[in-house]
Amino acid sequence: MTLDRDFAWGHIALGGVYVASGDADAAVDAVYQALILEPNGYEANLFMGFFLQFAGDAASAVDYLLIAKRLSPVKIYRDVSFLALAQFMNRNYEEVVRLWTKTSNKPRRSRNFPAKTNLSTATYWNSFSLGRSRN
- Residue ranges and CATH numbers for the domains of the chain are 8-129 (1.25.40.10)
Of 48 and 97, the structure prediction assigns the larger pLDDT to: 48
Rounded CA-CA distance 20/2 in Å is: 19
* Residue 79: band (very low, low, confident or very high) from pLDDT cuts 50, 70, 90: confident
Rounded CA-CA distance 4/71 in Å is: 24
Q: Which residues contact 59 (CB under 8 A, 6 or more apart)?
A: 90
pLDDT computed for residue 80 by the predictor: 80
Using a pLDDT cut of 70, give the percent of the chain over it.
Answer: 73
Q: What's the whole-model pTM score?
A: 0.70
Kindly tell me if the per-residue pLDDT of 112 is higher than 60.
no
Kindly tell me if the per-residue pLDDT of 133 is higher than 50.
no
